[in-house]
Amino acid sequence: MDRRDFIKKATVAAATAAVVSPVSAMINTVTGKQCKVLLINGSPRTDGNTFCCLQEIEQTLQKHGIETEIVQIGRKPVRMCINCGGCRQNGGKGCVFDDDLCAVITEKMATADALIVGTPVYYGQPNGGILSLMQRLFYSAGRLVQNKPAAALAVCRRGGATATLQTMNMMFEMMNMPVVTSQYWNIAYGAGKGEVKLDTEGMQTMRTLANNMAFLLQKIHADGDAAPRRDERPQFMNFIR
């Protein structure tokens, strides 16, 4: 076999190995299970621009051996939190209103290692349904999201995306959730269905977000301890003495 034939066969063999070689699963060292990221589509359109962004993220996460699931908020009503306090009296089972998507998400967050929420921009704000969902989830089942990395993304036609991101991130920060960033704000632009795919920078931002999420999950679970030590209990007050 001459040098040219050897190089040719070696190249073919390497390419074949690259195709058939499975991606190693990223493992949660606490549970021993494959790391999982839950993605919520806060748009009533199941296959619109917000979904396109989440799908771009999902495909990148899967390349890192991370399990993913996209849940659609859909078009059914989502109750708002009425501050009834029922979730404080039912043994930590979550919101007492169990007839909408919040109950489903609560169950899924119990086994998820991270959370990504996408929303369209309505009047410079997140979709009202996703706000109601997140507020009830965090209030009634905050223990399930504590210390888990999170990210939000906003899709808009023209403006209001940064205000939308700020609104979403404020919830994550209250729950001790590391906020995962990207190369730019997690924003993509598009109006018509699928138009967001033409925003090449936006799509790259989504992939970078996914890569950063994978990197953080790997670091968090490398030593088998996913939560920092906290010696102080939260102190609440509503005035300055």
Q: Please write the tens of the pLDDT for every residue from 134-151.
A: 999 999 999 999 999 999
CB contact at 8 A, 25 and 34? yes
Chain position carrying tokens 């997690």: 186
Q: How far apart, in whole angstroms, are the C-alpha atoms of residue 148 and residue 31?
A: 14
| Residue range 51-69, pLDDT digits in tens | 999 999 999 999 999 999 9
CB contact at 8 A, 165 and 105? no
Instruction: Count CA atoms closer than 13 A to 135's CA, side-chain side.
Output: 14
Residue 193 lies in a domain: yes
Residue 23 lies in a domain: no
CB contact at 8 A, 55 and 70? yes
228 band by pLDDT with thresholds 50, 70 and 90: confident
Q: Is 232 exposed, middle or buried (0-12, 13-18, 19+ CB in 10 A)?
A: exposed
Residue 200 lies in a domain: yes
Residue 22 lies in a domain: no
CB contact at 8 A, 161 and 125? no
Sign of the C-alpha dihedral, residues 75, 81, 82, 85? positive
Residues spanned by the domain of 169: 85-218
pLDDT score for 55:
98
Residue 156 lies in a domain: yes
pLDDT score for 191:
95
The pTM (predicted TM-score) of the whole model is 0.88
Q: What total of structural domains would you count in the chain?
A: 1
Residue 176 lies in a domain: yes
Residue 44 lies in a domain: no
Mean pLDDT throughout 67-82?
95
Closest CA to 164 of 152, 180, 173: 152
Q: What is the CATH number of the domain that holds 92?
A: 3.40.50.360
Residue 77 lies in a domain: no
